Structure 1
Amino acid sequence: MYDVLMTRLHEFTVVLYAFSVLLYFFDFIHHNRKANRIAFWLLAFVWVSQTVFLFFYMMKTGRFPVLTIFEGLYFYAWVLITLSIVINHLLRVDFIVFFTNILGFTIMTIHTFAPMQYHSHVMAKQLISELLLIHITMAILSYGAFSLSFVFSLLYLLQYDLLKRKKWGTRLIRLADLDKLEKSSYILAIIGVPMLLLSLILGLQWAFLKLPGMPWYDIKIVGSFILLTAYSIYLYLRTVKNLSGKKLAIWNAGSFLIVLINFFLFGQLSSFHLWYS
């Protein structure tokens, strides 16, 4: 009973850490201090939880947890979270904080879902299944965000075309103004990109545990990274190059085509996604 409770607490901590990373990414791209504060307090809760787990583990074993690879991973994740909190509080370097948390989340995921640390084979198998469930859920949620982002870009292009051709009427009035459509599309892309990145981290962890002989050049994996790259370029063009308007909306629409190809075509051609579907 105790082991099950601790496992659930570890899983809950990973989910909170994922939300923290999402909010840090939103702040990193959109310079939203409210998102930064919420992300910081979520991360602080994760740090407290990890510190408590670490303390109880040391009390249970009577030694410092660095003698095995799994203990080392746990302590390494704790160190990264601690450094992230210190950097966020003292230096406020958003770039370093975000990527430190990406690394910390990866290490924590590897440790939490590694079946070798669980004495029960049933528990280890259940953890791997739950890892897959979280991976799929986050991937679908990211696809949902990209889909809505595409819809807003499509409405932007329609509105743009109506205004250019001076087609005044009820259709034009019912559509939101161009700025709102573009901003909505942009915010949804900000939500989708880190969610897809975290989903890929979880998915690769699952594949490493469940399919050790899986080819890393599998079409589904390659397609997912192409998709991540396409939307990352979209955010780069919007935030760094200050590109806006029709060209950006077209890029977003083109990126959504990759979503459809990756979901419907590459999923069927994949050597292992068909296996667990």
Structure 2
Amino acid sequence: MLTHNWLYDAMLYIYALSLLFYFSDFVERNRQAKRMGTGLLIFVWILQTAFLVHRIISHLNMTFMTLSEYLLMFSWLLITVSLAISRFFRIELFVFFVNVIGFAVLTLNLFGIGQGASLARWEIVRHLLIVHITLMIGAYVAFTVGAVFSGMYLFLHRRLKGKQWTKSVQRLPSLEMIEKMMSRSALIGTPLLTMSLAVAVTSILTEGRYLLLLDLKVLTSFAALALYIVNVLEHRWFDRPGGKTARWDLICFAVLVLSLLLNRLSSFHGWS
């Protein structure tokens, strides 16, 4: 648990899950995913409202609000606005990125809920890094699976184009199935990487270690995220051929692996 307050922990975990569904709907126009994401976000809004009301009632002095309550109210307003936009307009990209900011603010607020409800500051920093690394590992797994499918796609496409009907070709699934799995891997990995980097930036800013934002590993990670987002959007919105998407997916994965290898040169949770 990130804090001793189960309500706050529940908000963070459910919020992260809702973002996964929202990103899936944003890319694939999946109504079921949108309903799941909206339902989870409404539940987060209810929990956040209850938490905020409890904090205000606990001291009943509306002339004084702590930084924690300001941040919590800011996050609550972001969710409220995004839900209103989602209800009356179809701007999924806006809703997704607004809630990435809301998630980062909610995470940042871990440092401000210390009136008996949270762990010591250094412990929260450590747990934030655990959350960051956990999300990053999930993204690595999804992108690795996607890279394998991308390699399979290019291999099978070349064999079929050259009419090389080998046993290895016969054992592979269809190009359509491989492309679908490749796409789903990107849909899972991209929001996980986005949230992981949001938590990392929150930790950096809160500790005041601003120079870490210029760390080579951090910059490379953001470059990999930008490439993945562009790759996903171009494939979905501009109907880019599967072969070109597969090649770009492997390039994105290479940048991500480079980011991992830069741990030795990084000041941000580097290891030898």
TM-score (norm 2): 0.92
Contact 1:115 1:128 in 2 (8 A): no
Matched residue type, 2:128 = L
Query: Deviations for 1:49-76, whole angstroms, at most 9, x for unmatched residues?
Result: 1111111112111034873332211111
Query: Deviations for 1:82-136, whole angstroms, at most 9, x for unmatched residues?
Result: 122222223343232222212211221111x215744589533322222111110
The aligned counterpart of 2:172 is: 175
Matched residue type, 1:205 = T
Between the aligned partners of 2:63 and 2:170, the Cα distance in structure 1 is 64
Contact 1:138 1:199 in 2 (8 A): yes
Pair 1:194 & 2:194 matched: no
SS of 2:213's equivalent in the other structure is coil
SS of 1:167's equivalent in the other structure is coil
Between the aligned partners of 1:220 and 1:62, the Cα distance in structure 2 is 46
The aligned counterpart of 2:265 is: 269
The aligned counterpart of 1:14 is: 12
The structural deviation recorded for 1:173 is 1.6
SS of 1:108's equivalent in the other structure is helix
The aligned counterpart of 2:128 is: 131
The aligned counterpart of 2:88 is: 90
Between the aligned partners of 2:222 and 2:5, the Cα distance in structure 1 is 30
Q: Which region of structure 1 is more displaced relative to structure 2, 221-230 or 115-124?
A: 115-124
Between the aligned partners of 1:139 and 1:151, the Cα distance in structure 2 is 18
Between the aligned partners of 1:5 and 1:263, the Cα distance in structure 2 is 29
Contact 1:57 1:65 in 2 (8 A): no
Contact 1:139 1:196 in 2 (8 A): yes
The structural deviation recorded for 1:213 is 5.3
Equivalent residue runs for 1:204-215 within 5 Å? 204-210=201-207, 212=209, 214-215=211-212
Contact 2:68 2:112 in 1 (8 A): no
Between the aligned partners of 1:106 and 1:20, the Cα distance in structure 2 is 14
In 2 relative to 1, CA 122–232 (structure 1 residues): closer, same or farther, beyond 3 Å? Answer: closer
In 2 relative to 1, CA 83–66 (structure 1 residues): closer, same or farther, beyond 3 Å? Answer: farther
The structural deviation recorded for 1:7 is 2.6
In 2 relative to 1, CA 102–272 (structure 1 residues): closer, same or farther, beyond 3 Å? Answer: closer
Contact 1:65 1:71 in 2 (8 A): no
In 2 relative to 1, CA 15–156 (structure 1 residues): closer, same or farther, beyond 3 Å? Answer: same
The aligned counterpart of 1:223 is: 220
Matched residue type, 1:269 = L
The aligned counterpart of 1:56 is: 54
1:150 to 147, 150, 174: 147
Matched residue type, 2:266 = S
The structural deviation recorded for 1:34 is 0.5
SS of 1:215's equivalent in the other structure is helix
In 2 relative to 1, CA 179–80 (structure 1 residues): closer, same or farther, beyond 3 Å? Answer: same
Between the aligned partners of 2:187 and 2:64, the Cα distance in structure 1 is 37
Percent identical among aligned pairs is: 32
Between the aligned partners of 2:61 and 2:29, the Cα distance in structure 1 is 43
Count of aligned positions: 271
In 2 relative to 1, CA 272–90 (structure 1 residues): closer, same or farther, beyond 3 Å? Answer: closer
Contact 1:116 1:124 in 2 (8 A): no
The aligned counterpart of 1:30 is: 28
Between the aligned partners of 2:63 and 2:81, the Cα distance in structure 1 is 19
Between the aligned partners of 1:130 and 1:9, the Cα distance in structure 2 is 17
Contact 2:149 2:178 in 1 (8 A): yes
Once superposed, what is the RMSD of the aligned Cα atoms?
2.2
SS of 2:270's equivalent in the other structure is helix
In 2 relative to 1, CA 213–250 (structure 1 residues): closer, same or farther, beyond 3 Å? Answer: closer
In 2 relative to 1, CA 51–120 (structure 1 residues): closer, same or farther, beyond 3 Å? Answer: closer
Q: Which region of structure 1 is more displaced relative to structure 2, 68-77 or 31-40?
A: 68-77
